[in-house]
Amino acid sequence: MFDLVSFIPRAVAQSIPLLYGATGEILTEKSGNLNLGIPGIMYVGGICGVIGAFLHEQAVPADEMTALSAIGIPMLASLIGSLLMGLLYCFLTVTLRANQNVTGLAITTFGVGFGNFFGGSLIKLTDSDVPSIALSATSNYFRQALPFADGLGWFGRIFLSYGFLAYLAIIIALASAYVLKHTRVGLHLRAVGENPATADAAGINIAKYKYMATCLGSMIAGLGGLYYVMDYACGVWSNDAFGDRGWLAIALVIFTIWKPNMAIPASILFGGLYILYLYLPTGMNLSIKELYKMLPYIVTIIVLVITSMRNKRENQPPESLGLPYFREER
């Protein structure tokens, strides 16, 4: 029998990094920037959180930590790290008008390398005597679920058993959806992504909106990396463990047709597909599992094809997506 009560919480836990990444990328793309650097930025967000937490744990014994510093320091480090990556991307693509695809891929190369390098060398670089990076004390603060969740049976397990970053992801997604759709700032941002020349003529500062949206998007995506190490992986960093989630997050953006609120169910669906192979019967043949792992990618491809076939006007990407804006070139 398919065990939904154990499946759903795991699917949700899988989905949170995807949700952060997708929300961040939607904001970015709404400004007309196609940031393929998101996978790298998520690594940077994760490892910066780890570095912050590691230094904090080295300096302060576990029983003297307060919740505020244990959560605040890694989170701040993570946000700063991913903000810097976002700024770098913006500087190259907005100010210097470089090709967005190439810049994004370079950011991803750099970010993944940065994450793996510090993940693998942090202990050596700080001359500490711990065998591996296991930030269980910090992780416990991040994983703290609501105290009464256990008492509520299946309801508690499905809805209340997550760390605060999971709920934050949903709040951020809903807030972004609201801002994009119902506020003046959101309207301006969409105008910048659709037709920067017109927006410019209307007096909107294109560079400012692109910088703001992309940097904010990077910071949100970086939190996805932080959630992954601190909550999902219980504070244990292992190289390449984060895997291809960043790319899936970018694929989710198309799946959700650029709507952050749609990203919530969509990422949970993807999270489910991501771990479905653990629940499907394989019989004696273990190799079938490897084929099941294709599911999220195959589904993405099918969705891509279907949305392009239907070709509805409201389901299209922002019109100037991927193009640099140069006022004098109209």
Partner 1 sequence: MSNNCQPNGHTRVNNQPLFHITKRKALPWYYTWGIRGAAIVAALLTCAAVTSLLTGENPLEVFQTIGYGAFGTTRKTWILLQNLAILLCISLAVTPAFKMRFWNIGAEGQVLIGGLATAACMILLGDKVPNAVLIATMVISSIAAGAVWGGIPAFFKAKWNTNETLFTLMMNYVATQLVAFFVIVWEVPKGAGKIGIINQDTMAGWLPQIGDYKYLLNILIVAMLTVAMYVYLNYTKHGYEITVVGESERTARYVGIKVDKVIIRTMLLSGAVCGIAGLLLVGGTDHTITTTIAGGRGFTAVMVSWLAQFNPIVMVLTSFLLVFLDRGAGEISTVFALNHSFGDILTGIILFFIIGSEFFVNYQLNFRKNTGKEGKANV
Residues of this chain that interact with partner 1 (CB under 8 A) are 34, 36, 88, 91-92, 95-99, 101-103, 105-121, 124-125, 205-208, 239, 244, 247, 250-251, 254, 286-288, 290-291, 293-294, 297-298, 300-301, 304-305, 308-309, 311, 317, 326-329
The nearer residue to partner 1, 20 or 114, going by C-beta atoms, is 114
The nearer residue to partner 1, 36 or 268, going by C-beta atoms, is 36
CB atoms closer than 10 angstroms to residue 202: 10
DSSP states of 74-89 as a string?
HHHHHHHHHHHHHHHH
Cα distance between residue 40 and residue 151, in whole Å: 40
The nearer residue to partner 1, 60 or 262, going by C-beta atoms, is 262
Question: Tokens at residue 52, please?
Answer: 């912050």
Beta bridge partners of residue 135, listed in sequence order = none
Please state the closest distance from residue 103 (CB atom) to partner 1, in A. Answer: 6
Q: Helix crossing, 100-125 with 38-59: angle to 10°?
A: 20
Residue 134, φ and ψ in degrees, nearest 5 = -130, 100
Please state the closest distance from residue 163 (CB atom) to partner 1, in A. Answer: 28
Spatial contact of 21 and 252, defined as CB atoms under 8 Å apart: yes
DSSP states of 275-300 as a string?
HGGGTS--TT-THHHHHHTTHHHHHH
Cα distance between residue 39 and residue 24, in whole Å: 11
Please state the closest distance from residue 215 (CB atom) to partner 1, in A. Answer: 13
The nearer residue to partner 1, 182 or 330, going by C-beta atoms, is 330
**Helix, strand or coil for residue 134?**
strand
Please state the closest distance from residue 179 (CB atom) to partner 1, in A. Answer: 22
Please state the closest distance from residue 303 (CB atom) to partner 1, in A. Answer: 10
The nearer residue to partner 1, 119 or 235, going by C-beta atoms, is 119
User: Which DSSP symbol is given to 93?
Assistant: I
Please state the closest distance from residue 255 (CB atom) to partner 1, in A. Answer: 10
The nearer residue to partner 1, 69 or 239, going by C-beta atoms, is 239
